[in-house]
Structure 1
């Protein structure tokens, strides 16, 4: 391999130098990158640089002959059936993001016993010569609704930062058994994970428990069928695994159809035995400026339950993007 000089793109702004290398050369070890920087073989704009150097668009990176830099094999051609299936889920797309309406029962990522998931399917949306689109966040396998996808690594990094800095507003709809009292409020209940793998569960925890993590969720009763069932609007103020499901159970009103939490109370007769939790709206700072707001229509099993209980969801608003 001869010496190369590569210009940093806009999409690669603020990425660390070592991560920039690993994107291009996955087989290159961190140790090899560190050595090449230490000896001055890797340079940025002709100057020595550390692995932690943050790159700027337009800078030129010197790539010397390095060991184990073989590029990965080209990805297989897109599967037309998988691509068509993904395209049927798209609620919104532009040059930066794709927003999907994930069906209940389809996993976001792989794991024990999972043979099909969104992350794997995204290979079908890879543009020729470009990057595979990337997940920005996750929702549970049994939860339906909005899932945000970044088209490039740079966009993924910007959106991940927005989630960390709590600049993202997420709204979920749920059908629960019973009616919370009071009808709205904030659940401030730390959680802890018990077990491992696919059998792990999340439980309420004492604040003094070393394994506990802070978890807060806002809730509001939108409508109720007597005191037997309620339609809740939920907003996770933190992002913990199964947070909304456990917090609803802690209110004494488990989500209908929950396969893991709520026991028999979560499985009333006459209703679809599927989780009635739906990621309804997402409001994010758009990577190119302004904000993007997208809503997802209800899945079939929740539409049926809404009709049975007399709840009126109304029409789903079209995606909107405010100017910079």
Structure 2
């Protein structure tokens, strides 16, 4: 006997989706990522499934439900009290089409989460609605730390969000960062220290260095993380004795630069467009002036190098 979901009378938020023809069956908990604005992420969708908020053809779905094409999926969430405030927060849009967008994340704001002020909640007020058939609310497909600035990739359709998530998992998206580090260091190297017990790898190249009365030496460093652990670059650089300037977690207490923020910047992303395989995309977020100002007369050279690489 099928178990049916809640009645329409009890529903405050009701979203529906009709599955188009798909090549192979896929689990709902994978297919449904980015499908419904009220259960947008994979973890949120799992919670909605556990709470019996999702039905497929009128029957309550589970994490084991497979989608084969043609199904009617419905998300039904009981009412919550209180009006929802809209966040107005201007973001610099670096690129946008119907499938994805790239914005510049400023320091001092979370990418997503339960806080009212997040990049995710500000996206609708900064991006054009997608005209694609599976358009959904725009959503970040990766994270940057609260204090980190730079390039942030956004999906605007359900299919692009799924594809971009898969590309990050498969390491098909190349990320480049720049940081200002403290202390004398090798010109280049690879760091393989585990982060939180997991295998991790980062590569670095010293671009410029300058003597500093307070810090001994400051370095502009180009970084390429090969894995994506939380705080990976910060931990790796601290671990080799070259913490990032302004790092209040992994930097030494006597060398904290207060009031200037963390000198870590997500500079570029390289990947194939998720809806046009074989079409290369390279997107960059300009380096903040506060970085290059530290290197005095070398500022023009720094900008030239970073434009090339």
Which interval holds the TM-score relative to the shorter structure? Answer: 0.7 to 0.9
Measure the CA separation in 2 of the matches of 1:11 and 1:307. 57
Question: Please, which runs of 5 or more residues in structure 2 have no aligned partner?
Answer: 1-6, 9-15, 40-46
Aligned match of 2:111: 108
- In 2 relative to 1, CA 13–101 (structure 1 residues): closer, same or farther, beyond 3 Å? farther
Residue 274 of structure 1 contacts residue 301 of structure 1 at CA under 8 Å; is this kept in 2? no
Aligned match of 1:144: 149
- In 2 relative to 1, CA 18–231 (structure 1 residues): closer, same or farther, beyond 3 Å? closer
Where does 1:24-39 land on structure 2 (aligned, <5 Å)?
A: 29-30=49-50
1:171-221 Cα deviation digits (max 9, x unpaired): 00011111323x2111010122xxxxxxxxxxxxxxxxxxx1111111111
Residue 19 of structure 2 contacts residue 72 of structure 2 at CA under 8 Å; is this kept in 1? no
Measure the CA separation in 2 of the matches of 1:7 and 1:224. 57
Aligned match of 1:188: 192
Where does 1:219-238 land on structure 2 (aligned, <5 Å)?
A: 219-226=204-211, 228-238=217-227
- CA shift for structure 1 position 136: 0.3
> Match of 2:136, SS?
coil
- CA shift for structure 1 position 223: 1.5
Q: Give the total of aligned pairs.
A: 272
Measure the CA separation in 2 of the matches of 1:31 and 1:11. 27
Question: Please, which runs of 5 or more residues in structure 1 have no aligned partner?
Answer: 43-49, 193-211, 319-324
TM-score (norm 1): 0.69
Aligned match of 2:27: 16
TM-score (norm 2): 0.72
Where does 1:166-185 land on structure 2 (aligned, <5 Å)?
A: 166-181=171-186, 183-185=187-189
1:259 and 2:269 matched: no
Residue 223 of structure 1 contacts residue 230 of structure 1 at CA under 8 Å; is this kept in 2? yes
- CA shift for structure 1 position 69: 3.6
- In 2 relative to 1, CA 220–92 (structure 1 residues): closer, same or farther, beyond 3 Å? same
- In 2 relative to 1, CA 136–21 (structure 1 residues): closer, same or farther, beyond 3 Å? closer
